[in-house]
Structure 1
Amino acid sequence: METEWDYRRKRLFEIIEIGLPGDVASQVYDAFNILSIVINLVVSVMNTFDDLHARFGPWLVTIEAVTVAFFAADFAMRLWTAKFLRPSLTEPRAVLRYIFSFSGLVDLLSFLPYYLPVFFPSGAVAFRMFRVARVFRLFRVNAYYDSLGVITQVISSKRQQLFSSVFILLVLMLASSLCMYSLEHDAQPEVFSNAFSGIWWSVSTLLTIGYGDIYPVTTMGKIFSIFITFLGVGMVAIPTGIISAGFVDQYTRIKRISEYADEDEVHFIRVALTEHDSWSGKTIQQLGLPHGVIVVAIQRGHEVVVPRGSVKLMDNDVLVLGAESVGSSDQHHIELKELELRQHNPWNGQRIRDLDISRQTLIVIVKRKGRMLIPNGDLTLHQGDRVILYTRTRMAHASSIWL
């Protein structure tokens, strides 16, 4: 049974994780987290300028101390709520899994090097180098935006091809270094002094950066350098093409999913239970739902409950019911259309019984300012109402019969 203490921990977990729509506290925390990361990095850059450090030094030190303290508090809260991040693990294993994950190590290195010189003054210079890890906290911004997440998905899906291209590039760098050593050692013994002295030349040539501090002087060395330069252009283009193709595939897949969703919609119903509803107090198994209707989710306060058969429904629960979609191959085709009454619509101000509509079309629901109205004949329609029209046709050969 969930205690009040566990509920508070779970609520804290919901706040420090990515905020859901409508969860104001979580969204405010996300915004403050991103702002702290950006401010801390800006302060770190400003500290490298002597004139800015001399002018705003005390302010920069204070801002850095506050943001680092927030990073430490954020890490402590994530440790405390780690079991909700990985509910399948025991709490000690969930904590260890978080600490040794990439995000956990980045979170730890974001504040730990700042405080270590207090206990180990002799290592202050070495600890200062680890503060660079704060830059990696920017990857947390990636989790808040789906468009940035595409980059991670593309690299993850194409990792094998990228590893293969990098491996081939490393082999070519080593081979070209050995060849250039053989061609240039006699002419430039001080430059190409051993087999690995040409690594820098092969890197600058294959990666097309053209630094130019090491270059061949013999005829054969120059010919070989030309060949490696052309090969380097092609090798650099391979990972570029892989990533570009990955982006095209990913956006095509997203677009295709969106198109499929428009073509074959799944219909859901949202039902809020009150203390007078007959479903309140019953388990899902006891509801006796018709075939093809399922409980998709149960919203209980800020928590989403998995709708297992043994779950007991409570007052103020919000049920999301899913119904089987009707395909075009069915014998009966059900069509629902929603119509919004605007300013000059002739239905404005008329009773439903007086509307000039076909007998084959029925008004099943009228939405008015968030309320659902039963469309009896005396109901008068107004501007802004949303009217749900129901049409049922029987698909028989080339003709259709209105019912």
Structure 2
Amino acid sequence: MARRLKLASASELKRQTFYALENASRGRLAAKATGFALFALIVANAVIVFFSAEPGLDPVAAWVIARFYTFSTICFGLEYLARIWIADLAFGDVSPWRARLRYVCSPLGIIDLLSFMPNLVAWFVPVTPQLHDAVNVLRLVRLIKISRYMRGLRTIGRVLSKRKHEIVASFLVIGLLVVVSSILMYEIESPVQPDAFNSLLTGLYWAVETVTGTGYGDIVPVTVPGRLVGSLVMLLSVALVAIPGGIFAAGFVAEFQNASLRKIERDERRGSRPAAKAPTDGGAAGEEESDGDDAGPTEGEG
């Protein structure tokens, strides 16, 4: 309700900017066009990072890539400023300045900042090979922004959020198995093959590759107790490693079932809703009340 009141009192430009960036129930065409353009820009930046790292790059291609990075920096910077501007509409339950601070400090707000900061640093700081490599790595952070424009990635985020306690518990059990098996294997094998198991970290490396089923074969137990421990770890890991996947799959099923139920409820409400009256000059708030459940995610979900 607070957001609807703020939307009703906001300027037309601010409302349309909010709809375009937040994929809300109104202005869907603008939201889709904006989302597609930013999505394409993010993917293009990720692809160009690999081409720009090629040795012996043609000077013309290097110039084009540099201009493209400049264009991307301007676009992402304007998007960041626009999201700060409309933050009071995205977070309708707090004051405008607290809403802007909440967006800036949110995970997606930090990612939005990092999406253009590397290029700004490269503009004002002499670029060394080490700085160039670091900037290229930071540019890949832009890929995380895709989660705003892909419903499937948002679903993954919701599943992780709702099942975080079960997932963390399962990984703690797996971590316990890794730590115990690494200590046992080090104590058993280091007297026999000190070069292979020369530290607990080496035992930890063996435990991780064994539990995950990677099995590089570069470090293997040769003693009978060591092989028994290794066999037991492999058998336990088959059961334990599957637990997070099962929790995640169950969360996906529940999320899609909930989405189907919400869609059925919306359809039923629309079917029983009387015909809408023609909008009046003061009915801006009424426009926002329809299809409220279809509104896209706000920064608060990040």
TM exceeds 0.5?
yes
Query: What residue number does 2:173 align with?
Result: 168
From the superposition, tell whether residues 224 and 176 of structure 1 become closer, same or farther in structure 2 (CA, over 3 Å).
same
Query: What residue number does 1:28 align with?
Result: 33
Aligned match for 1:198, one of 203, 207, 220: 203
From the superposition, tell whether residues 236 and 4 of structure 1 become closer, same or farther in structure 2 (CA, over 3 Å).
closer
Alpha-carbon distance between aligned partners in 1 of 2:166 and 2:9, rounded to the nearest angstrom: 50
Q: Which structure has more strand as a fraction of its residues?
A: 1
Letter in 2 for 1:200: Y
Residue 64 in structure 1 maps to residue 47 in structure 2: no
Query: What residue number does 2:297 align with?
Result: none
Q: In the TM superposition, what is the alpha-carbon distance from 1:68 to its structure 2 partner?
A: 2.0
Say which is worse superposed, 233-242 or 88-97, in terms of deviation.
88-97
Q: TM-score, normalised by structure 1?
A: 0.62
Task: Check conservation: 1:20, 1:27, Cα contact below 8 A.
Answer: no
Task: Check conservation: 2:19, 2:30, Cα contact below 8 A.
Answer: no
For residues 103-114 of structure 1, what are the structure 2 equivalents within 5 Å?
103-114=108-119
Q: In the TM superposition, what is the alpha-carbon distance from 1:5 to its structure 2 partner?
A: 8.1
Task: Check conservation: 1:82, 1:95, Cα contact below 8 A.
Answer: yes
Q: In the TM superposition, what is the alpha-carbon distance from 1:7 to its structure 2 partner?
A: 4.3
Q: Which structure has more helix as a fraction of its residues?
A: 2
Percent of residue pairs identical: 26
Query: What residue number does 1:354 align with?
Result: none
From the superposition, tell whether residues 264 and 75 of structure 1 become closer, same or farther in structure 2 (CA, over 3 Å).
closer
Alpha-carbon distance between aligned partners in 2 of 1:94 and 1:257, rounded to the nearest angstrom: 28
From the superposition, tell whether residues 23 and 172 of structure 1 become closer, same or farther in structure 2 (CA, over 3 Å).
closer
Query: Please, what is the CA RMSD of the aligned residues?
Result: 3.3
Alpha-carbon distance between aligned partners in 2 of 1:214 and 1:40, rounded to the nearest angstrom: 40
Query: What residue number does 2:287 align with?
Result: 304
Q: In the TM superposition, what is the alpha-carbon distance from 1:166 to its structure 2 partner?
A: 0.7
From the superposition, tell whether residues 260 and 81 of structure 1 become closer, same or farther in structure 2 (CA, over 3 Å).
closer
Q: In the TM superposition, what is the alpha-carbon distance from 1:6 to its structure 2 partner?
A: 4.4
For residues 196-275 of structure 1, what are the structure 2 equivalents within 5 Å?
196-258=201-263, 266-273=271-278
Task: Check conservation: 2:21, 2:34, Cα contact below 8 A.
Answer: yes
From the superposition, tell whether residues 21 and 106 of structure 1 become closer, same or farther in structure 2 (CA, over 3 Å).
same
From the superposition, tell whether residues 203 and 137 of structure 1 become closer, same or farther in structure 2 (CA, over 3 Å).
same
Alpha-carbon distance between aligned partners in 2 of 1:52 and 1:29, rounded to the nearest angstrom: 32
Q: TM-score, normalised by structure 2?
A: 0.80
Say which is worse superposed, 26-35 or 38-47, in terms of deviation.
26-35
Query: What residue number does 2:184 align with?
Result: 179
Task: Check conservation: 1:113, 1:128, Cα contact below 8 A.
Answer: no
Alpha-carbon distance between aligned partners in 2 of 1:248 and 1:107, rounded to the nearest angstrom: 31
Letter in 2 for 1:253: N
Alpha-carbon distance between aligned partners in 2 of 1:82 and 1:259, rounded to the nearest angstrom: 31
Bigger radius of gyration, 1 or 2?
Answer: 1
Higher RCO (CA-CA < 8 Å; seq separation 6+):
2
Task: Check conservation: 1:206, 1:232, Cα contact below 8 A.
Answer: yes
CA offsets 1:350-370 (integer angstroms, 9 cap, x no match): xxxxxxxxxxxxxxxxxxxxx
Query: What residue number does 1:92 align with?
Result: 97
Letter in 2 for 1:242: I
Query: What residue number does 2:134 align with?
Result: 129
Residue 16 in structure 1 maps to residue 21 in structure 2: yes
CA offsets 1:368-391 (integer angstroms, 9 cap, x no match): xxxxxxxxxxxxxxxxxxxxxxxx
From the superposition, tell whether residues 143 and 180 of structure 1 become closer, same or farther in structure 2 (CA, over 3 Å).
same
Q: In the TM superposition, what is the alpha-carbon distance from 1:42 to its structure 2 partner?
A: 1.4
Alpha-carbon distance between aligned partners in 2 of 1:208 and 1:53, rounded to the nearest angstrom: 43
Aligned match for 2:120, one of 115, 118, 125: 115
Q: Gaps spanning 5+ residues in structure 2: where? A: 292-302
Aligned match for 1:43, one of 48, 57, 60: 48
Alpha-carbon distance between aligned partners in 2 of 1:168 and 1:242, rounded to the nearest angstrom: 14
